[in-house]
Amino acid sequence: MNKKRSEDASIREDTSSVATNSETALRDKVRKTRGVVWRSLLVPLLATVTAFAIGGLVIIATDESVYEAFQDGIGRGIVQVFIVIGRAYGTFFTGAFGNPAQIVEALFSGNAAQIRRAVYPITETLRISTPYIFAGLAVALGFQGGLFNIGAEGQYFVGGLVCVFAGYSITGLPQIIHLPLALLAGVAGGALWGAIPGYLKGKTGAHEVITTIMMNYIAYRLAEFMLDVGGPMARGDGRPVSPEIQLSAYLPQFFPNRVDLRVNAGIFLALGVAWVVWWLLYRTTVGYEIRTVGKNPDAARYAGISVPRVMVITMALSGALAGLSAATDILGVLHFMPNSFFSGYGFDAIALALLGNSHPAGVVLASLLFGAIGAGARNMQGMAHVPIDITSILQGLIIVFIAAPAIIRALYRMREPEEDEELALARG
Amino acid sequence: MPPVLELKGITKRFPGVLANDHIDLRLEEGHVLSLLGENGAGKSTLMNILYGLYSQDEGDIYIRGENVAINTPNDAIRQGIGMVHQHFMLVPVLTVTENVMLGMESMKRAGFLDRETSANRIREISDRYGLEVDPDAVVEDLPVGIQQRVEIIKLLYRNADILILDEPTAVLTPQEVEGLFDVIHTLVALGKSVIFISHKLKEVLEISDRIVVLRRGRVVGSTTPVESDERDLATMMVGRDVILSVAKMPREPEAVVLNVRSLFVRGDQAKMAVNGISFEVRGGEILGVAGVQGNGQTELVEALTGLRAVEGGRIMIAGEDTTHASPRTITEVGTAHIPEDRQRDGLVLDYPVEDNMILNTYYLPPQAKGMVMQEAVIAERAENLVAEYDVRTPSISTPTGNLSGGNQQKVIVARELSRPVRLLIASQPTRGLDVGSIEYIHSQLVRKRDEGVAVFVISAELDEVMSLSDRIMVMFEGKIMGTVSAVGATKEELGLLMAGVAPETATMTS
Amino acid sequence: MTVAQVTPRSQRRARTMGIFFCLVSLSILLLFMPSTQPGQTTTFAFTERSSNALGIADMVFRTRVGLYLMALVAIFAGGWQLTKGFERVNVVLGLVVGAFVLAFLAWAARGQSMNMTGMIKSSLLRAIPITLAALSGVMCERCGVVNIGIEGMMLSGAFFAALFGSITDSAWLGLLAAMIGGGLMAALLAVLAIRYKVNQIIAGTAINILATGLTSYFSSRYLQKYAELNNPATFSPIPLPGLSKIPIVGPALFNHTLLVYLTLILVVVIQIMLYYTRWGLRTRAVGEHPRAADTLGVNVFLTRYVNVISGGLIAGLGGAYLVLSSVARFDELMTAGKGFIGLAAMIFGKWNPVGALGSSLIFGFADALQTKLAILAVPIPSQFLLMAPYLVTIVALAGVVGRSRTPAADGVPYEKS
């Protein structure tokens, strides 16, 4: 990156000192930028660590073997605490990243099957991260435009419905046309569902938080109606799911012949889209408009920006990203759409956007973390019998700590951000 | 006898700023003490300490000779201190009675409110002090002058005998100011003591028993109206000799640039705020609008700049019909707009200075090629403007919110005046600025006028309008009461117009 | 000058209303009439098999006559509105919508019988948890704290009710525990929103995620493993002496569990308290202009803490109702969005307790109706009726049914200067 512009409101240059010449100024700036980057990573990092620590306490406190061990003596109890937590987070780690020793061994053996088995956890982490990236970007883009999109969930469902329809109903197209078409269908569905609250907000001022929540429930009911047994999009074999999509709409798999290795081209699409979102936000006039409306809608109006129009665009783009999230799930992994409520993406996406500080790069990192939590928790449930709902506890705690960094700062006795200098200038 | 109130060595530090520096103050019973100072001199901080909204870092407060601790508004109320804040502290949707009784409610049995008793108390106070008000009226329906009465009643309801009035005349007409002064005289006659905060020299000289001048958090002088005059006070307040007038040469106006014909604009309450007015501004002249705030000036500017819908009439700018044009179109025909509320409308405070410099031209070449923004061009432009308009900022990537008010306004001025402009609309261009910045902004407005731009200035400061303008237009309740040449206009004449007294009647009564 | 005295917006709205009434009439004729046979009759039953109320004869009428009658009501209202105009058009709007609903019921039950008493009763029962959620929202938002964590508070209330109701084998203690459960979550929201000034929507979201995670986690750790921990004592219906014997409404309204009565009492009590007590005045002042309240010595933070936590207690009651009055067990995610519907009811009811009850009843009716229609085999997908509350709320928010006014300081953290 050549030059950092206003990518982040929280990144405030230290303005107390006025450099004497441009060279030291530049050096100063580089050093401070580095410091700022480090500081902006520190809170999310500590928030995650703290959440895991508390999660660990919950796991220990709800494990009966710990209590039994403590009845045999304090020493045994303490040992058991470490056994329990070690087993839980051990299986969590191997579930998310694989067993390093096994991976090394498999790589040396050169046996394809063995390698596949060893890297399976990482592929799962990436697979789970993929839709998270899109959903997190959806909410982050809304945040940038000053809109709180709680409706990623509903946009996911509608995007999914349109996408799966395009995926199974159209036949006879080559993949090169059918796949983009199906992806675009998901984009269109999500964009439409997002644009409605955007329009209502822009035209009538109806608060998007409430309207998107309402749109979520309408979307659930719509999906239920479409996919329920006997519904217009149901498979017709008595199951409440859509038909399978055509092979020509599949996202390319890395391991086409292995059904368990589900990682697919979606992850590249996600990374590419994250870059596009960054470019759009910080390098184009549209992004400037979105961010201006987000930071100060009055000034945007003054500047000749049509605020309602930008709100519709922001919410449509946000919805489009949520729709892509569904599209990659359907075209890359499921290959049909089930009628299940509460995918949970909507709320997770809020956590992701917060954790990533609404910056596309941050969202990608946060999504990888959540992907790892997802994959790890699944393994932990299977191997260590810790209910998978621990993920929601971890995510909830992470949001709390990120949103209230004062708690983290108090816990780790960090000093307050350098507000003194800023204030001095503001008042001076 | 000890004074009613005495402050000794009050010191308050904000991070990096010394807001109050060992301030001493004495208020005698039955006196009016004026606190005079520029914006940011520390007047409000001091009064907020006295009212328990801030706590001092050092120093003591004595009430009737007794050292007291005031940590909350409740402590202040208990000590008989009451404060009318610059921005009224009234809940708009509640009635007068509810607003007054809040926090000190009369109660019936079983925990129910006793509105009747409170309302009677309010009527009593109204009669005693000549503060007429309907206790059952909903506050948001009341005009500003009456709302101020409600604020004063709130203090008297709590038996306050030290009354702090923070910039109480800012929202009033000259005639309403006289009314307020009558109320203050009554209060003082009945044994109350008043602290009057202002930056208006004439008012301070008229009402005070004693005047204390603050500058940069320090007491720089204490005097009485008898011992001083406007020029002394101004010098004390600012710390140097001040030129109270704007230097400008006479100039012949050119062609009409802004032409407004029987314009109607609705206010927020669906009522007509601008009521069929017509006027024109020519190139090379400054037309100033005088009037008490809330008489349609804000709505007029919003309509001219495309921020508010026009109900009827016509607006022409530089020959183009812009009656229903968007803000963007109006900007593009050559209109510059320095908005009334610079932090709300004029700037994105989180943005770096360079991004604010392109707020309304970001989409035009060379700042953008198609939809791609040109980083280097934007930065270079910003550097140049910062240098040319003397914006004091560490760098162009400093968040604009970190700059002082004067420098923020300079960012706006730089952005607006660096474009080719035919019409310049400046609304409250110097509100809340220090004297240095005020002089700079004034000189820029005059410079544009000399270049042949049509300049339209709206200000709540009558002095500013009188010294800047070539012609003065007075607005009252959405109508133009009269337009006079700035040469030879008197404050009295303008004051009557601002109060809605038509010229004929004015001459008749005089 | 020629400037219209009446604002065009209200004029336009008046005309739209008139046209809408006529359209209602037309749609009754077009939607329901064609599929109704001339001789068909509809039966509205007014007895409940299990009740001991005084009997009253069923109402049997020709379906077509009923439909014509309702269409007539609507067209008359439309004509009057367009020519003369009603003073209180919202009341007439309610009337016309009511006529449409009656026509719909008559059509749906043509050739069959519909138990109206049962409908009223089941609407009320379904409205109760929504009402409690809405009341929780009113408590919080009236003092300026947005609460979208109601769902999570209800969920933890429900969990506590099941767990402690089972352990103590007492519905009363279960109830108390539920309130504590909801209150704890609310306390967390309060601390985040008031002490740490966290964006209240984010805080509410965190509450929802945390409550989902905690209740599901502990449920699968304990409740699913040990059935005796998920078998709470429940409240049984208490027929109100005398009142429950009134025909039609007796069994529908006066033969319920304690929680139903408690909810209705709460609605009235909070409504009165909000407008006639010191607490109410201070709450409203804090929700509208906290700094004004602060300068008069009202403790803004304390007021908000008290209200938010009380709101949590009420949401906990809502959770308790789901467990202790109906299913007698906790299931993961059993609130199924009732907290969010409550939020909608609060908005639709314009932040007033009584309004919230009214809109909850409408939403409860929509819910009750969709079950009924399934039984009557009406070819309307139940999902569309279930969408109704959400659609209605969006319409209300968009300002079609008059503007609703949010407390001015809603969602804004208070900073002591």
Spell out which chain B residues touch chain A, with contact meaning CB-CB distance below 8 angstroms.
14-17, 40, 305, 307, 326-329, 331, 337, 339, 341, 344-352, 354-355, 359-360, 362-363, 368, 371-373, 375, 379, 394-395, 397-399, 401-404
Which of B85, B111, B112 comes nearest C295 by C-beta? B85
Contact B371 A286 (CB under 8 A): yes
Number of domains in chain B: 2
Domain region containing A243: 126-252+261-371
Q: Does residue B151 surpass a pLDDT of 80?
A: yes
Contact C297 B74 (CB under 8 A): yes
Q: Mean pLDDT across the stretch C74-81? A: 91
Question: Looking at chain C, which residue has its C-alpha nearest residue A199?
Answer: C398
pLDDT digits (tens, 9 = 90+) for A338-390: 886 556 788 889 889 988 889 999 999 999 999 999 999 999 998 888 999 99
Claim to verify: residue B70 and residue B187 sit in the same structural domain: yes
Residue B73 lies in a domain: yes
Could you tell me which residues come within 8 angstroms of residue A169 by beta carbon, excluding any fewer than 6 positions away?
none
Residue C329 Cα, gap to closest chain B Cα (Å): 40
pLDDT of residue A421: 35
Q: Write out the two tokens for A197.
A: 């609250």
Contact A214 C347 (CB under 8 A): no
Per-residue confidence at B508, pLDDT binned at 50, 70, 90? very low
pLDDT of residue B188: 93
**Stronger pLDDT, A320 or C325, i.e. the higher one:** A320
Which of C192, C221, C394 comes nearest A400 by C-beta? C192
Claim to verify: residue C186 and residue C269 sit in the same structural domain: yes
Residue A273 lies in a domain: yes
Domain boundary among C76, C111, C146: C111
Nearest to A91 by CA among A366, A368, A375: A375
pLDDT digits (tens, 9 = 90+) for B102-138: 998 988 887 899 999 999 999 999 999 888 899 999 9
Number of domains in chain C: 2
Instruction: Give CA–CA dist C50/C57, Å, rounded.
Output: 16
Domain region containing C251: 117-397
Q: Mean pLDDT over all residues of chain A?
A: 85
pLDDT digits (tens, 9 = 90+) for A94-112: 999 988 888 888 888 888 8
What's the CA angle centered on C126, arms C122 and C131, to 5 degrees? Answer: 135
Q: Mean pLDDT across the stretch A308-315? A: 96
Could you tell me which residues come within 8 angstroms of residue B403 by beta carbon, excluding any fewer than 6 positions away?
A425, A426, B353, B391, B392, B393, B411
Does A309 reach chain B within 8 Å, measured CB to CB?
A: no
pLDDT of residue C50: 58
pLDDT digits (tens, 9 = 90+) for C339-376: 988 988 998 888 999 999 999 998 899 888 888 887 78
pLDDT of residue A409: 87
Could you tell me which residues come within 8 angstroms of residue C121 by beta carbon, excluding any fewer than 6 positions away?
C48, C251, C252, C253
With beta carbons under 8 A apart, name residues in chain C contacting B154.
Answer: 296
* Predicted ipTM of the assembly: 0.84
Q: Are A231 and A225 in contact (CB under 8 A)?
A: yes
Claim to verify: residue C42 and residue C172 sit in the same structural domain: no
Q: Mean pLDDT across the stretch B441-457? A: 94
Contact C208 A218 (CB under 8 A): no
Nearest to B168 by CA among B156, B190, B141, B150: B150
Q: Does residue A423 surpass a pLDDT of 70?
A: no
- For residue C272, the surrounding DSSP H or E stretch is helix C258-276
Residue B378 lies in a domain: no
> Beta-carbon neighbour count of residue B250 at 10 Å?
6
Instruction: Give CA–CA dist A69/A85, Å, rounded.
Output: 14
Contact B102 C281 (CB under 8 A): yes
**Stronger pLDDT, C286 or C49, i.e. the higher one:** C286
**Stronger pLDDT, B504 or A318, i.e. the higher one:** A318
Residue A246 lies in a domain: yes
Claim to verify: residue B233 and residue B275 sit in the same structural domain: no
Question: Looking at chain B, which residue has its C-alpha nearest residue C406?
Answer: B93
pLDDT digits (tens, 9 = 90+) for C301-319: 999 999 999 999 999 999 9
Q: Mean pLDDT over all residues of chain C?
A: 87
pLDDT of residue A203: 87
CA atoms within 13 A on the CB side of A380: 26
What's the CA angle centered on B308, arms B306 and B312, to 5 degrees? Answer: 95
Residue A103 lies in a domain: no
The CA distances from residue B380 to B357, B363, B374, C354, in Å, are: 11, 16, 10, 61
Contact C293 B85 (CB under 8 A): no
Claim to verify: residue C175 and residue C315 sit in the same structural domain: yes
Q: Which of B38, B359, B425 to substitute to test the interface with A, most A CBs within 10 Å?
A: B359
pLDDT digits (tens, 9 = 90+) for C140-175: 999 999 999 999 999 999 999 999 999 998 999 999
**Range B113-148 burial, b when 16+ CB lie within 10 A, else e:** bebeebbebbeebbeebebebbbeeebeebeebbbb
Nearest to C259 by CA among C312, C314, C321, C315: C321
Of the candidate ranges B466-480, C107-121, C123-137, the one whose mean pLDDT is the lowest: C107-121
Domain region containing B309: 256-334+420-509
Number of domains in chain A: 1
Residues forming beta bridges with residue B196, ordered by sequence position = B34, B165
Phi-psi label, residue B223: left if phi above 0, alpha if psi -120 to 50, beta otherwise: beta
Residue B381 lies in a domain: no
pLDDT of residue C232: 87
Claim to verify: residue C58 and residue C200 sit in the same structural domain: no
Residue C411 lies in a domain: no
Which of B51, B74, B90 comes nearest C292 by C-beta? B90
Q: How far is CA A189 from its chain centroid? A: 20
pLDDT of residue A342: 56
pLDDT of residue A341: 52
Q: Which of B304, B348, B357, B374 to substitute to test the interface with A, most A CBs within 10 Å?
A: B348
Contact A403 C393 (CB under 8 A): no
Q: Mean pLDDT across the stretch B368-380? A: 93
pLDDT digits (tens, 9 = 90+) for C391-417: 888 887 777 554 556 788 888 888 875
For chain B, the maximum distance between any two Cα atoms, rounded to a whole number of angstroms, is 77
Interface of B with C in 288-347 (CB under 8 A): 311-312
Residue C378 lies in a domain: yes
Contact B94 C295 (CB under 8 A): no
Residue C417 lies in a domain: no
> How do strand B368-369 and strand B372-373 relate by DSSP bridges?
antiparallel
Per-residue confidence at A179, pLDDT binned at 50, 70, 90? very high
Q: Are B322 and B412 in contact (CB under 8 A)?
A: no
Q: Are A77 and A69 in contact (CB under 8 A)?
A: yes
Claim to verify: residue B165 and residue B302 sit in the same structural domain: no
Residue C158 lies in a domain: yes
Interface of A with C in 36-95 (CB under 8 A): 58, 62
Q: Specify the CATH number for the domain of residue C139.
A: 1.10.3470
Residue A99 lies in a domain: no
Q: Mean pLDDT across the stretch B216-235? A: 87
Which of B54, B77, B275 comes nearest C417 by C-beta? B54
pLDDT of residue A17: 32
Q: Mean pLDDT across the stretch A168-183? A: 93
Residue B14 lies in a domain: yes
Per-residue confidence at C8, pLDDT binned at 50, 70, 90? low
Claim to verify: residue B273 and residue B192 sit in the same structural domain: no
Q: Write out the two tokens for A263.
A: 């990682």
Q: Which of C387, C400, C417 to substitute to test the interface with A, most A CBs within 10 Å?
A: C387
Q: Specify the CATH number for the domain of residue B317.
A: 3.40.50.300
Contact C148 A204 (CB under 8 A): no
Claim to verify: residue C361 and residue C241 sit in the same structural domain: yes
Residue C275 Cα, gap to closest chain B Cα (Å): 9
With beta carbons under 8 A apart, name residues in chain B contacting A421.
Answer: 16
pLDDT of residue C2: 38
Contact C216 A392 (CB under 8 A): yes
Question: CB pairs below 8 Å between A and B: how many?
Answer: 121
- Percentage of chain C surpassing pLDDT 70? 94
pLDDT of residue A426: 31
Claim to verify: residue C348 and residue C219 sit in the same structural domain: yes
Per-residue confidence at B63, pLDDT binned at 50, 70, 90? very high
pLDDT of residue A22: 45
With beta carbons under 8 A apart, name residues in chain C contacting B83.
Answer: 295
Residue A20 lies in a domain: no
pLDDT of residue B506: 43
Instruction: Give CA–CA dist A31/C66, Å, rounded.
Output: 81
With beta carbons under 8 A apart, name residues in chain A contacting B371.
Answer: 284-286
Residue A350 lies in a domain: yes
Q: Are C314 and C172 in contact (CB under 8 A)?
A: no
What are the phi and psi torsion angles at B144 (to 5°)? -55, -40
Claim to verify: residue C373 and residue C308 sit in the same structural domain: yes
With beta carbons under 8 A apart, name residues in chain B contacting A283.
Answer: 372-373, 375
Q: Are B355 and B444 in contact (CB under 8 A)?
A: no
With beta carbons under 8 A apart, name residues in chain B contacting C289.
Answer: 89-92
Nearest to B398 by CA among B345, B355, B455: B355
Which of B51, B94, B270 comes nearest C284 by C-beta? B94
Residue B288 Cα, gap to closest chain C Cα (Å): 26
Claim to verify: residue C173 and residue C275 sit in the same structural domain: yes
Claim to verify: residue B155 and residue B281 sit in the same structural domain: no
pTM (2 decimals)? Answer: 0.85
Residue A180 Cα, gap to closest chain C Cα (Å): 32
pLDDT digits (tens, 9 = 90+) for C17-44: 889 999 999 999 998 888 888 888 888 8
Instruction: Give CA–CA dist B261/B274, Å, rounded.
Output: 12
Residue C293 Cα, gap to closest chain B Cα (Å): 7
What are the phi and psi torsion angles at B326 (to 5°)? -80, 160
Q: Which of B47, B88, B89, B91 to substitute to test the interface with C, most C CBs within 10 Å?
A: B91
Q: Mean pLDDT across the stretch C103-125? A: 88
Residue B209 Cα, gap to closest chain C Cα (Å): 28
pLDDT digits (tens, 9 = 90+) for A279-298: 999 999 999 999 999 999 99
Q: Does residue A70 surpass a pLDDT of 60?
A: yes
The CA distances from residue A26 to A3, A21, A32, A265, C240, in Å, are: 11, 9, 10, 41, 81
Claim to verify: residue C166 and residue C70 sit in the same structural domain: no
Q: Write out the two tokens for A188.
A: 């269109």
Residue B403 lies in a domain: no
With beta carbons under 8 A apart, name residues in chain C contacting B103.
Answer: 282, 293, 296-298
Which of A211, A222, A393 comes nearest C214 by C-beta? A393
Residue B296 lies in a domain: yes
Residues in chain A, total:
428
For chain C, the maximum distance between any two Cα atoms, rounded to a whole number of angstroms, is 81
pLDDT digits (tens, 9 = 90+) for C249-262: 777 788 888 899 99
Contact B99 C408 (CB under 8 A): no
Claim to verify: residue B134 and residue B268 sit in the same structural domain: no
Does A10 reach chain B within 8 Å, measured CB to CB?
A: no
Claim to verify: residue C215 and residue C87 sit in the same structural domain: no
Contact B89 C7 (CB under 8 A): no
Q: Does residue C60 surpass a pLDDT of 80?
A: yes
Q: Which residue is associated with the tokens 């973390």?
A: A369
Q: Which of B45, B77, B102, B112 to substitute to test the interface with C, most C CBs within 10 Å?
A: B102
pLDDT digits (tens, 9 = 90+) for B323-338: 999 999 999 999 999 9
- Percentage of chain A surpassing pLDDT 70? 86
Q: Does residue B356 surpass a pLDDT of 50?
A: yes
Claim to verify: residue C31 and residue C107 sit in the same structural domain: yes
Claim to verify: residue B278 and residue B171 sit in the same structural domain: no
Amino acid identity of residue A283, one-letter, is R
Q: Are B3 and B27 in contact (CB under 8 A)?
A: yes
Contact A209 C201 (CB under 8 A): yes
Residue C61 lies in a domain: yes
Claim to verify: residue C209 and residue C163 sit in the same structural domain: yes
pLDDT of residue C126: 92
**Stronger pLDDT, C269 or B496, i.e. the higher one:** C269
Contact A295 B348 (CB under 8 A): yes
Write out B69-128 in H/E/C secondary structure. Answer: CCCCHHHHHHCCEEEECCCCCCCCCCEHHHHHHCCCCCECHHHEECHHHHHHHHHHHHHH
Residue C408 lies in a domain: no
